[in-house]
Structure 1
């Protein structure tokens, strides 16, 4: 199966810039462990657990760290029960300085999952409803489609990549009306069309009356001690940047189902469960801007082909992942009460990071199977 898996990966094109289905019982995150540790909102204190205490294989961990360092990794963090088990930094930051705990790096498309969580909070706070028409927040004419077709598109379609907007465009980042044309009715096709996601940031800003940064800080970051910011780059707009520990804080928030040390951040359990389960009947491995492991089939970014494989065969079946270009990973594993963070450059020269993701998990599993 894994040979077929890698062969199929090799022919899939790039991982862009970077409503539960009948399958809704899968991947529902169980109640978080009561003993989960949450670091203070300020300062550098973060409790640790040693790999030896967990009976991990230290030789295999050394091999994993060598693999990560040699493959252009900048940061690697593993949390178990909220405590740091592994925290390593290598290579240089974007300014050419040695990468460390305070260094900033981009999330690329892993930021989509942060946006998915923000939408859930905005809905809970009454700013929007994901079943509303997108035009309720963007105005009529945000596409070049007939109004009757534009009105079929809801916020949920953006969260699930099922807008029906034509993805056969030269610029997958363009979300001007001239770049949004009709392909099929909303809900009838799944395609990882980045521009249909990017416009969600406009929806959030128009719904809340706040900028992306203001709402992210108000709704999440200030409440969990996360520091980061949205900005535009030469390649894409609305890219999130933070240090690795901030990414770990977001992963820990997700592991705890939207709760931070007794404080509710996202209290809508129905939305959370929908976000972290199959969201439509075309791509089993996709929720609301989150990737889902353990499914029997999936579609990759840049493809309309459905293949018989899980997303990360070497990883835990209940894992949900925020995945971004060049190997930005935020992995949440409820069954192990674990969060795994990886930041860095693309390791192999390929534009698809999911093969590397599987290789990383194969080695990490060997560490834990001592």
Structure 2
């Protein structure tokens, strides 16, 4: 017993040392740190194991990239559940459900067990309608393979690179253990998918970006002025702490709440709607909650997502994970293959047209890639990052064409759309520090332009 206490004391000392010095955690937040660590281990471990198919060693390595203290986690996988514990101080579990992915076992999750997931087998047809790819350009493929190898020699942990030119996959390169069918976490690229879901609902007359008075608690105060467009462009004016540290709004939202949207639901208005850009994952989860409610709840939202988005786009290797309350975690939890992420980029490149149907309105797509109304940074559309903002603002990526815009996620996930070059570029991986996205993508743009001019 004495030996166990000594080990625990040493481990606690490590926690106190690692969190403040490496991540800036306050010692006063040690309880939150332990809770977040076990929840992160259970949730991300569950998804990595049962969706992506990673091994236990790789999962721990990935978790340690978020916090070195996660190396102390003990994660067990049994049947469809991952259980994570940290030195006996806390234990958290998450459950995998086919077609839904993994959700923390936080409160009553029995409704998730009742959901019916449609079967969507991949089609034997040329990409993007199906899985057949016969359009690889050897010169581009060679460049992409070289880029992936150089990334990983530099420790950047790129897992998938893919190039779409004029609607065809011309190169795709994957790290060991990753295939064209492997679903990979997009983190905040899920925000762009959430926006596309809203755009599809708008095309069908179910919602509109001008909608206001979005939630009952907002009806009696100034928050009734917030429109769906304000939330899509991150100009809602709501206060939200986007820092990822124990006890912050963001970590409570993802790892300590039955309802991810509830954290932002109660925040106060600190700017006039439309006046100030402030990046907020909480805002996206409010959008997901609004769409969920308008569709009619858990099963209706799942059915709509599958029949109106996944099936028409041929996204048969994608999952949108719900929170324990049953609402999609729009800010963060979409797993999709590189080819499926590319399909979303191609939909935007085609101005909302897909297989002969106007899937999203051209007006909606134009607005989605247009500067917002804020006075501090207009280079953000409907959950898409823009290269070009209003007159006088610098380009976000000077080495890329001005009309470029992108989905972006933590650890340098990117789907870049460049209309002037008829290009969609995808990068998926796990890079903690800087990643040379702009330089790599610029090199691909130059290579393809040179090939066209020959």
Shared fold by TM > 0.5?
Answer: yes
Is 2:354 aligned against 1:260? yes
Calculate the TM-score normalised by the size of structure 2. Answer: 0.61
- Show the counterpart of 2:302: 213
Name the SS of the counterpart of 2:225 in structure 1: coil
Alpha carbons 1:38, 1:260 under 8 Å: kept: no
1:231 pairs, out of 318, 321, 324, with 321
1:193 pairs, out of 276, 280, 286, with 280
**More off after superposition, 178-187 vs 278-287:** 178-187
Alpha carbons 1:73, 1:342 under 8 Å: kept: yes
Is 2:161 aligned against 1:69? no
Alpha carbons 1:152, 1:186 under 8 Å: kept: yes
Alpha carbons 1:61, 1:367 under 8 Å: kept: no
Alpha carbons 1:57, 1:367 under 8 Å: kept: no
Question: 5 Å matches for 1:32-51?
Answer: 39=127, 41-42=129-130, 44-51=131-138
Instruction: After superposition, give the CA deviation of every residue in 1:273-300 in whole Å (9 maximum; x if it has no partner).
Output: 11111121432211111111134789xx
Alpha carbons 1:213, 1:229 under 8 Å: kept: no
**More off after superposition, 337-346 vs 214-223:** 214-223
2:261 pairs, out of 175, 189, 203, with 175
Question: 5 Å matches for 1:49-88?
Answer: 49-52=136-139, 61=144, 63-70=146-153, 71-88=156-173
Aligned equivalents of 1:220, 1:326: Cα separation in 2:
26
- Show the counterpart of 2:70: none
Aligned equivalents of 1:343, 1:335: Cα separation in 2:
23
The offset of 1:322, in angstroms, is 0.6
Aligned equivalents of 2:388, 2:151: Cα separation in 1:
24
Instruction: After superposition, give the CA deviation of every residue in 1:153-187 in whole Å (9 maximum; x if it has no partner).
Output: 11111101111111357213363267412212222
Instruction: After superposition, give the CA deviation of every residue in 1:204-255 in whole Å (9 maximum; x if it has no partner).
Output: 1111225443322222211120121111589x93411111111111111111
Size of the alignment, in residue pairs? Answer: 303
- Show the counterpart of 2:42: none
Aligned equivalents of 2:340, 2:128: Cα separation in 1:
12
* Higher RCO (CA 8 Å, separation ≥ 6 residues): 1
The structure that has the greater radius of gyration is: 2
- Show the counterpart of 1:32: none
- Show the counterpart of 1:105: 184
- Show the counterpart of 2:96: none
- Show the counterpart of 1:116: 195
- Show the counterpart of 2:80: none
- Where structure 1 has 5 or more consecutive residues not aligned to the other structure, the ranges are 1-12, 19-36, 92-97, 299-307
- Where structure 2 has 5 or more consecutive residues not aligned to the other structure, the ranges are 1-23, 25-65, 67-124, 243-247, 254-259
Aligned equivalents of 1:134, 1:47: Cα separation in 2:
50
Question: 5 Å matches for 1:99-178?
Answer: 99-135=178-214, 138=215, 140-141=216-217, 147-168=220-241, 170-172=248-250, 173=253, 175-176=261-262
Is 2:417 aligned against 1:332? yes
Calculate the TM-score normalised by the size of structure 1. Answer: 0.73
